[in-house]
Amino acid sequence: MLIAGIGNIFLGDDGFGPEVVRRLPPHPDPGVRAVDYGIRGMHLAYDLLDPWAALVLIDALPDRGAPGRIEVFAAAPEDTGAAHLDAHAMSPDAVFAGVRALGGALPPTVVIGCQVACVAEGIGLSEPVAAALDEAVAAVGGVLAELLSAGAPDDSEPLRRATARQED
């Protein structure tokens, strides 16, 4: 299983994915690999050409509720047509399209995301997003345990364990 943290650490809360991956403890299963891809979408696309049982994608989520809200859901990467391949500016949809353009097949994918407060230029997470890091690390552990015990998720059935935490 591939755990991929994506996002730009120079754009505030967009650095959520890399920060979560940085905090993950080593996993004892040799088939689990955690990588901070940052803004290297092409690197992730090429790595996804290898056969993976599942992909756990950790990313910032815009416009999905209160800042710091964690969501866990199964993604169904759709065929979005031709890929715009840019080594340093690829959204998850563009990465998935790039994998298909390179002749690969996408593994079942689970997204662990956090609603952002600010993605303006600057290093560091906002207070609500930083406060959600421990919850996100725990969510990764829970998703991995579920995937390892039950096999990869079925794209047609979203994870029932979706979580959401709202900051007051």
Digit-by-digit pLDDT tens for the chain (168 residues) are 999 999 999 999 999 999 999 999 999 999 999 999 999 988 999 999 999 999 999 999 988 789 999 999 998 766 555 555 555 556 788 888 889 889 999 999 999 999 999 999 999 999 999 999 999 999 999 999 999 987 655 543 444 334 443 333
Tell me, yes or no, whether 118 lies in a domain: yes
- Domain boundaries, position 93: 2-151
Tell me, yes or no, whether 29 lies in a domain: yes
- Identify the CATH number of the domain in which residue 28 sits: 3.40.50.1450
Tell me, yes or no, whether 131 lies in a domain: yes
Cα 96 to Cα 92: distance, rounded to the nearest angstrom: 6
pLDDT for 155 equals: 44
Tell me, yes or no, whether 163 lies in a domain: no
Cα 48 to Cα 164: distance, rounded to the nearest angstrom: 28
Tell me, yes or no, whether 168 lies in a domain: no
Tell me, yes or no, whether 167 lies in a domain: no
Q: How many domains does the chain have?
A: 1
Hey, is 33 helix, strand or coil?
A: strand
Tell me, yes or no, whether 157 lies in a domain: no
**Six-digit token string for 59:** 């990313």
